[in-house]
Amino acid sequence: MLKEKGILFDVTLCVGCGACSQACKETNNLEQTNKDFLKDHLSDNTFTVVEQYGELFTRKLCMHCNEPACVSVCLVGAITKSPTGSVVYDADKCIGCRYCMQACPHHIPRYEWATTQPRIRKCNLCTDRVKDGQLPACAEACPTEATLFGDMDQLIAIAKKRLKDSPEKYYQHIYGLEEAGGGHVLVLSPVPFEQLGYISKLPKESMPEFTMRAMEKIPSVVVGGGVFLTGMYWLTKRKNQIAKDEKNNNK
């Protein structure tokens, strides 16, 4: 039986060298999008970024959720959850609806706007490399082991031990362990995560489960209209946010 794999990223160990981002681009044959990698942003050609907040550096990439909202809304099964835990994308199945972009609580999937045959693009946790017994490119390239790859149970144990052994060093929370149902990318930080640009106000329930619970409370007589209006409000809000993010990123 395959064990679920994941990444543990420790902000306190990151020196901001950008080796992870560069390795990701080389492995996935992605274009160079910014000479200063610290000013780069997630896009169809950048699957992971290093961001600077004062003297701290952090990473942003797909969180590979345990119960991905992107998978639950994909009409054609183009996005799936692999046995090892990574959330992968099949471009041959995609119809370009972009529901996954609307649904993702972490605002991760990106769209190829500049092509006539656009795809959704994001980190796939180097699934092919992992199948061949290799590390994800980002973890292999990290010179300080700020990015660790391994079995999820081991990574969780390591994270908890670090919090227990050095309470003065870490903000006492493992980001990604419970947010939106948890996922396969965990983060440790010396400061509250919202100070590093992470979305902190997320429910502990997975997004599909959160939606189902809300729907169960709606009286059957108003299910049709209520769900429709709620869905339209959610989609409109997400579209506006994505449009805003795209506008800021293109400045």
Task: Provide the 10 A C-beta neighbour count for residue 61.
Answer: 24
Q: What is the mean pLDDT of residues 223-231?
A: 48
pLDDT of residue 198: 96
Q: Is the dihedral of CA 199, 23, 125, 247 positive or negative?
A: positive
pLDDT of residue 154: 97
pLDDT of residue 181: 93
Q: Which residues contact 205 (CB under 8 A, 6 or more apart)?
A: 180, 181, 213
Instruction: Output 241 or 92, whichever has higher pLDDT.
Output: 92
- Partners of 51 in the β-ladder: 58
Looking at the chain, the whole-number percentage of residues with pLDDT higher than 90 is: 65
In 3D space, the residue among 102, 108, 134 whose CA is nearest the CA of residue 122 turns out to be 108
Token readout for 205 is 């329930």
164-216 pLDDT, tens digit each:
999 999 999 999 999 999 999 999 999 999 999 999 889 888 877 655 554 45
Between 44-48, 162-166, 238-242, the lowest mean confidence (pLDDT) is in 238-242
pLDDT exceeds 80 at position 235: no
87-135 pLDDT, tens digit each:
999 988 988 888 999 899 999 999 988 877 788 899 999 999 999 999 9
Of the options 3.40.50.2300, 1.10.10.10, 3.40.50.2000, 3.30.70.20, the CATH number for the domain spanning 5-204: 3.30.70.20
In 3D space, the residue among 30, 61, 65, 24 whose CA is nearest the CA of residue 44 turns out to be 30
Residue 58 backbone dihedrals phi, psi, to 5 degrees = -140, 170
Q: What is the mean pLDDT of residues 146-171?
A: 98
**Could you tell me the residue ranges of all domains in the chain?**
5-204, 218-251
CB-neighbour burial class of residue 59 (10 A; exposed 0-12, middle 13-18, buried 19+): buried
Residue 213 backbone dihedrals phi, psi, to 5 degrees = -65, -40
Looking at the chain, the whole-number percentage of residues with pLDDT higher than 70 is: 82
